[in-house]
Structure 1
Amino acid sequence: MAPIAASHQQFDEIPTVVGIFSAFGLVFSVSLFAWICCQRKSSKSNKTPPYKFVHVLKGVDIYPENLNSKKKFGVDDKSEAKNKSAMSKNSLHLDLEKRDLNGNFPKTTSKMQSSPDPENSSSKHFAEKKKDSVSPDSLKSTTSPSSEEKQDKLGTLFLSLEYNFEKKAFVVSIKEARGLPAMDEQSMTSDPYIKMTILPEKKHKVKTRVLRKTLDPAFDETFTFYGIPYSQIQDLTLHFMILSFDRFSRDDVIGEVLIPLAGIELSEGRMLMDREIIKRNVRKSSGRGELLISLCYQSTTNTLTVVVLKARHLPKSDVSGLSDPYVKVNLYHVKKRISKKKTHVKKCTPNAVFNELFVFDIPCEGLDDISIEFLVLDSDRGSRNEVIGRLTLGSSAEGTGGEHWKEICEYPRRQIAKWHMLCDG
């Protein structure tokens, strides 16, 4: 019976040993899992996550302005150095930081080796056929470009177009821009962003976010426009305005891109393309147009009645060839503005008919210290309204403005109308 009792004691000790080993294994596995999770979390925080903005527009523009582009879209200094070295091997690349005080690049003595087409190497993701081929002679000429050619080159815009037949939506994807000029002379960089307008109706106006301190911005933003039939795509034109953000003054215009959609077939799927950025066409004409104004001074009530009647021969201040004019009226007393009014906007016309009346109370007796200013502006929802022309009427005004003012002072309670030439704003 003694051997049987000893065997029972051995079997009683086995569950205890198994429990101890299982407890140690559980603690080890939990600690290992926690360590792996911490490592993954730290690795994810160090990596730059890919972000892609998709704008779905139904009459309302959605702009993610609150994201920090430097954290989410910037690249580390080491990766930038690697990219620059790779670019220097495969394509021509001008480093703006290597320019001297005069803005010129140092001459390179090394000869250029035969390499693949730089246009193809810089646009690997774009399948559109190039119209202009690069020859070895052109490569040699580009190694020492003149200062005029550098100033004329404003960069290249890369984008894609697509039409979704299921949702009946027109999709425009702004990929990136390369080789932009530096608008900030101190830092030799720019803060670029893009405004896009669908012409000629100008109903759809959108803009990208601002990317800080870069000459090769990667926007990667998609805009979807609903309610545009596929049959009307051929009649539309895409206008891209490339600007550099300025915190303290008006944003600098880098250039523009105009893409007529006539002849572009989107039925086969997405089309990738790139266009050279050109200088903005100011489209100034010899005259700024004319404005028909009627004035009447009521001496008994000490009021001035102003009627903005018509405008004609206004210049083409828009890419579509037509402007959306309206008139802003400012009343001044001793060079201090005391009242302001404005008319309604007239869409797409160089000859606008307003017929709007405004009554101003005069704070002093007589019109000696009073002057009135008319500003004809082009309405633009996407940016600041441009001044088409300016007109000032008063005792110190020259030409027809002074004559008109003298007549209403001599003949009060009489409505007197005259045409006036607009001057530059």
Structure 2
Amino acid sequence: MAPITASREEFDEIPTVVGIFSAFGLVFTVSLFAWICCQRKSSKSNKTPPYKFVHVLKGVDIYPENLNSKKKFGADDKSEGKNKLVMPKNSLHLDLEKRDLNGNFPKTTPKIQSSSDLENLSPKHFTEREKDSISPDSLKSNMSLSSEEKQEKLGTLFFSLEYNFEKKSFVVNIKEARGLPAMDEQSMTSDPYIKMTILPEKKHKVKTRVLRKTLDPAFDETFTFYGIPYSQIQDLTLHFMILSFDRFSRDDIIGEVIIPLSGIELSEGRMLMNREIIKRNVRKSSGRGELLISLCYQSTTNTLTVVVLKARHLPKSDVSGLSDPYVKVNLYHAKKRISKKKTHVKKCTPNAVFNELFVFDIPCEGLDDISIEFLVLDSDRGSRNEVIGRLTLEASAEGTGGEHWKEICEYPRRQIAKWHMLCDG
């Protein structure tokens, strides 16, 4: 019986030992968890926010410049201490703690830089030569403008141009815009962004992000275009379109800036430039061009055959003097659209040859309540396609439209072609 008693005493001591080890393990686990949380919190506070988004658009290879975690927007020096001293106040700096409840950065009123500030800024940010840079005289002249002239002003766009001979790439940096007009009458502000196109081919189209509620947006976005030889730079033209984002309707056009690159030498390095924003060049309503249409009405099958043949003398849709036209065909019955077709896009031509045939089924006997509409549009990937001209053929149409419709009704099963003048779209 004695050995049995001793074993029971040993078993009674086991829970005490287990409890002691469990307590030490719990204290160690809690301490380790608290240490990990502190480390994560400190790493998040010291972590540099993401650089800037990478533009990925069709036909263009664009990469962000200076991908260095130690660098932030508007800085080109090697150390953070130098960045804090050199960085201008109007440059974009991602400080997440300064954002408001909507995630936007608070608006800061840019200060007018003195001549000494401009001298200190130019050699550090742009060690290369500058062209059309800010001068104290220009600032004085801007301050002395009358109120009427200020109302007509649409602001100033600041940007830089550079050609990288090692990568054979053309680099455009859209820095900022100042003094934009307010497009929202209620808040008296704008939501600006910029679309840029390289003319005349319009292959390279990019746009910046939208900056909310500001009249002095600081974009500081760099676009790199590869595959452009330096010998072709002189033949290109930069077209900047400044717009204000509207969530509920079409975006408002503030103005445009057109920069022909002929005569601009980029062999010596980066060039800082600024241009006044001007009103968009609105085309005149006269001279919309002509469209050659062939129609044939089949009374036996109750079908209407439409052939879009040619277009000529189309007006220019942008500063390049060329359009990318295509034709949209809409069939109406009793003023209600029942069918639609469209041709292929013809690139960079004011005189397009389509030669495309469409067959429409007519839901009624005869062509009394039938009308057909032709819309000539300019294809644009970066924005909404713009209507170049319009043509409507029906029984009540005037001029050549009414005569053409009358002939196909009198002579069914015969293909009849006519040139028609396009009206304002």
Same fold (TM over 0.5): yes
Partner residue in 2 for 1:324: 324
Instruction: Indicate the larger mover: 334-343 or 99-108.
Output: 99-108
Q: CA deviation at 1:283?
A: 3.1
Q: Deviations over 1:162-189 (max 9, x none)?
A: 2222222211111111111111111111
Q: Deviations over 1:301-331 (max 9, x none)?
A: 0000111111111111111011111110000
Q: CA deviation at 1:154?
A: 1.2
**Whole-Å separation in 2 of the counterparts to 1:180 and 1:70:** 33
Distance 1:410 1:163, change over 3 A: same
Distance 1:410 1:274, change over 3 A: same
Distance 1:134 1:306, change over 3 A: closer
Q: Deviations over 1:31-62 (max 9, x none)?
A: 89978984994796599957334547772577
Contact 1:393 1:401 in 2 (8 A): yes
Count of residues paired in the alignment: 425
Q: CA deviation at 1:220?
A: 1.7
**Whole-Å separation in 2 of the counterparts to 1:112 and 1:129:** 22
Contact 2:104 2:212 in 1 (8 A): no
Distance 1:84 1:58, change over 3 A: closer
Distance 1:116 1:243, change over 3 A: same
Instruction: Indicate the larger mover: 68-77 or 216-225.
Output: 68-77
**Whole-Å separation in 1 of the counterparts to 2:52 and 2:117:** 29
Contact 1:90 1:115 in 2 (8 A): no
Contact 2:305 2:357 in 1 (8 A): yes
Q: Secondary structure at the match of 2:320?
A: coil
Q: Secondary structure at the match of 2:148?
A: helix
Once superposed, what is the RMSD of the aligned Cα atoms?
9.0
Contact 2:163 2:230 in 1 (8 A): yes
Contact 2:76 2:83 in 1 (8 A): no
Contact 1:308 1:355 in 2 (8 A): yes
**Whole-Å separation in 1 of the counterparts to 2:220 and 2:389:** 38
Identity %: 92
Q: Secondary structure at the match of 1:77?
A: coil
Distance 1:96 1:276, change over 3 A: farther
Distance 1:37 1:398, change over 3 A: same
Q: Deviations over 1:85-138 (max 9, x none)?
A: 999999999999999999999999999999879999999956787888999998
Instruction: Indicate the larger mover: 246-255 or 143-152.
Output: 143-152
Instruction: Indicate the larger mover: 300-309 or 270-279.
Output: 270-279
Query: Residue 83 in 1 paired to residue 83 in 2?
Result: yes
Q: Deviations over 1:63-104 (max 9, x none)?
A: 999999999999999999999999999999999999999999
Instruction: Indicate the larger mover: 159-168 or 31-40.
Output: 31-40
For structure 1, which runs of at least 5 residues remain unmatched after alignment? none
For structure 2, which runs of at least 5 residues remain unmatched after alignment? none
**Whole-Å separation in 2 of the counterparts to 1:100 and 1:43:** 23
Instruction: Indicate the larger mover: 326-335 or 264-273.
Output: 264-273
Distance 1:115 1:381, change over 3 A: closer
Instruction: Indicate the larger mover: 54-63 or 151-160.
Output: 54-63
Distance 1:310 1:76, change over 3 A: closer
Contact 1:239 1:256 in 2 (8 A): yes
Partner residue in 2 for 1:167: 167
Distance 1:273 1:410, change over 3 A: same
**Whole-Å separation in 2 of the counterparts to 1:341 and 1:7:** 96
Contact 1:126 1:273 in 2 (8 A): no
**Whole-Å separation in 2 of the counterparts to 1:317 and 1:375:** 15
Contact 1:90 1:118 in 2 (8 A): no
**Whole-Å separation in 2 of the counterparts to 1:50 and 1:257:** 30
Distance 1:69 1:392, change over 3 A: farther
Q: CA deviation at 1:275?
A: 1.7
Contact 1:302 1:361 in 2 (8 A): yes
Q: Secondary structure at the match of 1:241?
A: strand
**Whole-Å separation in 1 of the counterparts to 2:95 and 2:72:** 24
Distance 1:266 1:60, change over 3 A: closer
Q: Secondary structure at the match of 2:221?
A: strand
Partner residue in 1 for 2:240: 240
Distance 1:207 1:401, change over 3 A: same
Contact 2:90 2:110 in 1 (8 A): no
Partner residue in 2 for 1:13: 13
TM-score (norm 2): 0.74
Instruction: Indicate the larger mover: 253-262 or 279-288.
Output: 279-288
Contact 2:191 2:244 in 1 (8 A): yes
**Whole-Å separation in 2 of the counterparts to 1:269 and 1:346:** 38
Q: CA deviation at 1:289?
A: 0.9
**Whole-Å separation in 1 of the counterparts to 2:399 and 2:66:** 51
Partner residue in 2 for 1:128: 128
**Whole-Å separation in 1 of the counterparts to 2:86 and 2:162:** 32
**Whole-Å separation in 2 of the counterparts to 1:12 and 1:396:** 109
Distance 1:68 1:119, change over 3 A: closer
**Whole-Å separation in 2 of the counterparts to 1:220 and 1:107:** 16
